[in-house]
Chains A and B, each alone.
Chain A
């Protein structure tokens, strides 16, 4: 029986509301959010101690071209100046600190020790502790874009897109107007999330889940990422009509058209259908239904079959061939006419030949029921 559109809308609203109410602990905390202010402090301290000022124009230009090559040139000078300060403090960390430290001759061992932990920042994606985005960035699979929208004096500029058919990430900057009170600016910026996206081309299956995270770079400058986990089959390239909005003020909506392209060929990705199934001690059964591989993401889809109506608490860990646990970036369960399916998404810098899946029931591992999944 066809479902009433109102029912579907109601459920979607409810799902979205639940997501907004999700505890912050579920959002991946970004160590860099803490490191970046420290970095700024280090730079300022070095400046004070050694009277070294901002990098030369060439360095600044290099920093700018590196991180903000896609920034619109028609932007007013004010945000640019502010960004320049930010780039000096954070984005240009490596080059600037190298330059500074060479000049200083590592006069302070304490500073030198601290600086060992300062990351090289060359992308908004790098500011966030998302393996997928970081690996994609390292492998050069990021598409630079140049899209800005201004609403109520707030400029959102999307400058990076990652897409591999499984996940889609966008990196953006939020420049708040300096007329806003500082605390309010932070509050508003942190409320801006990806509301929805549609495709310019009609796509049959548009089911997707997404998350957004925003970090403060300076009083009025914020960086954000949104990662979308896609369901179904998506084209190699399309135009994403992204809507970012302030979820407490839906009138503030930024509409952006973003070109989305898979930056690799079809040969580089494949779908395997291993015939692996296992039954746990409780008679709860699972089957490895599908494994999808791209240069960045690996998706394992399980079909789960409970033996009866009782409560079951299955969970899984993934191990590499050396027995090291692999971090599951995204896990979701779905129920439809085919039953319960669970999707596990992981990212690899170097894909192992196989992974081991260890099932757990009610928190207790069943290693004797582990299965080996080939990734080749």
Chain B
């Protein structure tokens, strides 16, 4: 695998063990709340996580120029799953006080390296383009295949939901499509803009019934 400069920077930063704060809260019924914490651990980044991150960079190469603001390990995911996760926070300029600049957050399962959550963008769209559902569906399948590999993508064969909305984000109007791909026990929801860029990715477990 070709080593990206971005990865090297990441590894260096990691080696220095960045002290970061970790937050993960989920709530049923009421809204989630955030609580400050400090849970960074001196632990090396698993190879599977690194490989998974590399796949994301291939999907969204512009992230390679963004700055890593931190990497942290925690025992709970954004969606409230109790599992070891690695979270990377990236910023367009590296200065979080720069107004109007974007940030991204990526979360991976620490054992399997699978991508659990990604929130990037919004990426500037050249103009408002009206796309058909088929365009987004095809693009969604491509992105799934790039991120998960074609074999794993086969599990997520059902498209349970698809919507196309035009909205105003950060001062510019753009079109976004949300598509949910369902497997037996999990689902992945993608948000794709009219340029075909992945803006959000959320992989969550479907609720388990109590016996």
Residue positions of A touching B, CB distance < 8 A: 1, 3-4, 6-8, 10-12, 14-16, 18-19, 22, 26-28, 207-211, 227-229, 231, 304, 306, 308-315, 317, 329-337, 339-340, 360, 362-365
- Do A335 and B81 have beta carbons less than 8 Å apart? no
- Do B30 and A312 have beta carbons less than 8 Å apart? no
Known contacts: A10-B103, A313-B205, A365-B211. The answer to whether A332 contacts B111 by CB under 8 A is no
Could you jot down 14 A-B contacts, CB within 8 Å?
A15-B33, A210-B31, A211-B31, A306-B75, A308-B84, A309-B110, A311-B81, A311-B109, A330-B30, A332-B26, A333-B24, A333-B25, A335-B74, A337-B38
List residues of chain B with CB within 8 A of the CB of A334. Answer: 25, 33, 35
List residues of chain A with CB within 8 A of the CB of B82. Answer: 304, 306, 311-314, 333, 340
- Per CB-CB distance, the 8 closest pairs between chain A and chain B, nearest first, are A309-B84, A336-B37, A332-B27, A19-B31, A363-B208, A209-B30, A1-B19, A311-B83
- The 8 Å CB contact of A11, one of B23, B83, B84, is B23
Known contacts: A7-B96, A333-B76, A333-B80. The answer to whether A28 contacts B210 by CB under 8 A is no
Docked CA distance A210–B29 (Å):
8
List residues of chain A with CB within 8 A of the CB of B109. Answer: 311
List residues of chain B with CB within 8 A of the CB of A339. Answer: 75
Interface size class of B (residues with CB under 8 A): 35 or more
B124 at the interface (CB under 8 A from A): no
Beta-carbon contacts under 8 Å, B101-134 to A: 103, 105, 109-111, 119
Known contacts: A4-B97, A363-B210. The answer to whether A331 contacts B35 by CB under 8 A is no
Q: How far is the CB of A334 from chain B (nearest CB, A)?
A: 5
Of A314, A335, A365, chain B has the most CB atoms within 10 Å of the CB of A335
- Do A209 and B83 have beta carbons less than 8 Å apart? no
List residues of chain B with CB within 8 A of the CB of A364. Answer: 211
- The 8 Å CB contact of A18, one of B24, B32, B35, B110, is B32
Q: How far is the CB of A302 from chain B (nearest CB, A)?
A: 12
- Do A1 and B38 have beta carbons less than 8 Å apart? yes
- Do B39 and A335 have beta carbons less than 8 Å apart? yes
B62 at the interface (CB under 8 A from A): no
Docked CA distance A26–B207 (Å):
13
With A310-B83, A317-B210, A333-B80 known, 18 other A-B pairs at CB within 8 A are: A6-B96, A16-B31, A19-B31, A26-B29, A27-B29, A209-B31, A211-B29, A228-B30, A229-B27, A313-B205, A331-B28, A332-B25, A333-B27, A334-B33, A335-B24, A335-B74, A362-B208, A364-B211
